[in-house]
Every structure is written in structure tokens, then in C-alpha cells.
Amino acid sequence: MTITEVSAVDPVLERVKTGIEAFDDLVMGGLPRGRTTIVGGTPGSGKTVFATQFLAHGITDLQESGVFVTFEESPDEIEVNMASFGWDIRRWREQNKLVFIDASPRDRDELVVGDFDLAGLLARILHAVRAAKAKRLVLDSLTQLFDHFVADPTTVRRELLRIAAALKKEGLTVLMTAERNSEYGEITRHRIEEFVADNVVILRNALDKERRRRTIEVLKMRGSRHVEGEVPITLVENHGLVAVPLSSLRLEQQSSTKRVTSGNAELDRMTSGGLFRDSVTLVSGATGTGKTLLVTNFLAGGVAAGERALLIGYEESRGQLFRNARGWGVNFETMEAEGRLKVISLYPEAQSLPDHLLTIRELVKEFKPDRLAVDSLSALERIAPDTGFREFLISLTSFIKQHEIAGLCTATNKSLIGGQSASEQHISTLTDSIILLRYIQEGDMMNRGLMVLKMRGSEHDKHIHRFTIDGKGMHLGEPFGGAPDVFGDAAIVAPTA
């Protein structure tokens, strides 16, 4: 055995954190120090934000100065445009922590004849780098540089190669942005990535079912591993870009055997002692079958057991939720006043799914609940394309489990009887337990039935129990005598003779 057999390439590459939350995880800790990364994207995909955040993080958190070469917007424009992310660029410029090289298109009267080089640009960059003792360098965007010398792409290409080599010699970690013509096509205009980049990152801002969907993808990392595929990303005020990774989430959360009450003694019996501490339960049923009631019981049961409970409602206002609870003998006001409960009502259409996910994560971090209810997932599904919704669910359920929270989500069936909702299809494999609520016809009576369809890691009652709802809440009764078909179109029980 020799030392060279230790084939791990990763550890030798020192990492430079970008400050883009969760993105650094995708690239094993950050961008490799001393290397060049191309960030490609269509106009409006967030390239300049990414680049600025990369410099901002170095300045604010790691005492690493930066140089920003701008070929597009003027330094003053960047200063103004980035202010909403909470970056005080003016102050950094005054402190010489951030130096701009203004190569933005000025008013000019210029003629290019024959061969030239970009020694002027390189000299300016090196001058600024030394003046600021910079470790990080941004060139935004190379496409504009090509447009400036539009007749000589070959020369620009040759010169960029020279500049990249010179910057590497300086030990700078370089981030270059480049424009793309389409979301799924050639990587960048002028194929810049082919000749200067060690690493390639792509930002996308695709239109999917009339909604914008932002993602980030690490396409190439020379000599290093990275997480593959597109990851949702979002722009957050006072923060910048935040990636919402899914594939980097590993199924490593421990499985607890601790049970917590569902808030309904009879349901606890059906599930052999209640729900698991770190599990996610799906309650599925048509409108009016009692999903919100089950949620209310779940919250009240937790609070009664001394837990903290969080409800995020996407269908009803706080007022409606409170009134519903009161109708079932549960007083949300008192619970909130005691700080044991938090009820948040959000309008699904108000933000994108990744933003909703971030909101939930923020709420959980802030309130630290022991149990969390989401009512309903179907309302969120309306606003998202299929792939986006599935990613959202995966992230949400992993997040809930990682935080060892008991989660309860509801899904509304489209048809009144039987049937399956799409969210059910998506989530059924992701949740630990599924509870079905169904209308069941018996003769000329419409009754309600509850069944525990699945309960991971536990025995459970397999019967379909009838239940009633009154001013005190839900009352589970005896199993139905016949054999109603809870999945088919006609959940009818033949009247028992």
C-alpha cells in the first residue's frame, strides 16, 4: 500500500464558502480555492446576485476581500440593486474590502482594427486585487465582454484564457458569469465554459405552468464530487439566494419508538398507542369528512400533553380555524395566549413552493414545535408543477423527521366518494402513516368512515370504523359491518340484514 492509493481528491482542495445557503453542501463544502467557476444563466436567473453573494460572504463572514469586475451594470447600479439583500456595498467600498473595476459599457467612440490583447483589463484586475488583498474575484458577465469586441471572439477567447491563467497564478478563487440563450440548450453563449472553467454551475429560471421555477445545478466540478441534478433555489430579501436541496438530504434521521397521542383516544387505540414522535401522517379525505377536525384534535392533544404545536393553514383564515375549533370544544385562543400553540394562515398563491418551504422552516426554527400540522397539502399543490410539488414534499417530510417533530398533513380528495388525490399519490410513499376519511353510504344514510391504511413500524386496527362529529369533536364507533369499497366510486355498504 502506498500513500498515493489514498484516492480522495476532495480533501486536498481547500473550499471557499459561497454563502449561498445549502449550495455549499452540493459542492462538498464550497468552491475549490484557486479555481475558476462559470455561473451560467439566462437573463434574470440571478447570476449577479450569486456573484455578489459570493463576495459578500467573504467580506462579512471570512475577512476575505473581493474584486468585482463588471462588464454590464455600473458599480453604482449594482450597489443599488443589491441593497435589498442587505449588502452594504458602499461601506465595503469605502473600507477597501470590495473594489470595483468598472468595465461597463460607457459612452464610447471606438474602433477596433487588427489584433489586440486584453492586457489593460488584466493589469487593472491585478492592480485592484493587490490593493484590496483580494482572495475572491468576480467577472460579470463575460458575455458582455464578447459583445464589446463582437468582431473578434477568437481574440477574446485567447485573452480570457491568458487572464484565467494569470488569475490562477495569483491564487484567486474566480467566479465568472456567462449568459445562456435558453434554459435547456448549449451551456453558455460563446461556449465560454469549454475553455476557462474548472467548474460549471447553472442557474435556471424556467416558466412551468405559468409559474417561475428557479433552480441551481452543478454541472461540473473538476477533480471533485458534487451533488447532481437541479435543486430549487429562491431569492430571499435581506439574504440573497437560498438553495433548497433535496438529494443532499440523506435518510439518516433516527427512528423513534416513542409514541405521542393523536389527540383522539380511540384513534390512539387503533394505532396501537398513538403516532410516532418523528413520523409524518397523512390524513386524506373528501371535503367535509373531518380532516380539519382531526388536525384540531391533533394540536389540542399535543398541547394537553405539554407539547408545543404549530398549525400552518393554507385553506382557511385564522378566524375560521379558531371558530371551527371552538365548535368542537377546543379553545385555540387560550393555547396561543399560553404560548403552546401557533396558528399561521398563509395564502398558497402568495409565494412559490420553495419559499413556502423556507417559511415553514423559519417558523419551526423560531417556534420549536413538538408537533406540526399542515392543512392542506392539496391547496399547495394547486400552485406548483408536478415535479416541484414532489420535491417540496420530500423536503418537507425529511425536514419534519430530522427535527423529530410529529407531523400531520391533510390532502383533499377531488371526488366526494372514494378516489385518490394527486398529493396522496405523491406523499403516500413518503409518509409513515395514512389515515383515510370517507363518506360511506348505508341504505339511505350517508355515514363517515375512518381507517388506518398504513402505519410504518406498528400494528394497527384494519377495520373501517364509523364515526360521528358533534359539539365535542370526533367519536369513533364500531367497524362497518359490510365491506365498503373505500377506493372505488361507490362506497356503498349493503344494508346488513
Partner 1 sequence: MRTNNGTGPAIRPILRLYLAGDAPAARRALECRKRIIAAAAEPLDIEIIDILEMPADAETAGILATPTLSDETVTPPRRLIGDISNTSQVLDYFGYRKKDATT
Whether 27 and 224 have beta carbons less than 8 Å apart is answered as yes
Contacts 24+ apart (CB under 8 A), 454-457: 454/428, 455/271, 455/272, 456/276, 456/279, 456/432, 457/255, 457/257, 457/276, 457/432
Q: Does 103 bind partner 1 (CB under 8 A)?
A: yes
Q: Which of 72, 193, 217, 230 is catalytic?
A: 72
- The smaller minimum CB distance to partner 1, of residues 138 and 145, is found at 145
- The smaller minimum CB distance to partner 1, of residues 144 and 433, is found at 144
- The smaller minimum CB distance to partner 1, of residues 15 and 124, is found at 124
- The smaller minimum CB distance to partner 1, of residues 75 and 449, is found at 75
Stretch that binds partner 1, among 96-104, 136-144, 392-400, 458-466 (CB under 8 A): 96-104
3-class secondary structure, 209: coil
Q: Does 444 bind partner 1 (CB under 8 A)?
A: no
315 is catalytic: yes
Q: Does 158 bind partner 1 (CB under 8 A)?
A: no
- The smaller minimum CB distance to partner 1, of residues 145 and 303, is found at 145
**Cα–Cα distance measured from residue 143 to residue 193, given in angstroms and rounded to the nearest whole number:** 11
Among residues 121, 377, 417, 476, the one that binds partner 1 under rule CB under 8 A: 121
Least distance to partner 1, CB of residue 148, Å: 7
What Å distances lie between residue 345 and 295, 322, 356, CA to CA? 14, 11, 12
Q: Does 113 bind partner 1 (CB under 8 A)?
A: yes
**Cα–Cα distance measured from residue 99 to residue 137, given in angstroms and rounded to the nearest whole number:** 10
Q: Does 112 bind partner 1 (CB under 8 A)?
A: yes
Binding-site residue total for partner 1 (CB under 8 A)?
A: 27
Among residues 43, 83, 86, 127, the one that binds partner 1 under rule CB under 8 A: 127
Cα–Cα nearest to 187, from 220, 141, 231: 220
Stretch that binds partner 1, among 52-60, 126-134, 296-304, 306-314 (CB under 8 A): 126-134
Environment class of 67 (CB within 10 Å of its CB; exposed 0-12, middle 13-18, buried 19+): buried
Grid coordinates of 422: 394527486
Whether 373 and 295 have beta carbons less than 8 Å apart is answered as yes
Cα–Cα nearest to 20, from 247, 250, 232: 232
Cα–Cα nearest to 176, from 32, 37, 27: 37
Q: Which of 159, 179, 217, 315 is catalytic?
A: 315
Among residues 109, 252, 338, 478, the one that binds partner 1 under rule CB under 8 A: 109
Q: Which of residues 452-481 bind partner 1 (CB under 8 A)?
A: none
- Write out the catalytic residue numbers: 72, 315
Provide the binding-site residues for partner 1, judged by CB under 8 A.
101-103, 106-121, 123-124, 126-128, 145, 148-149
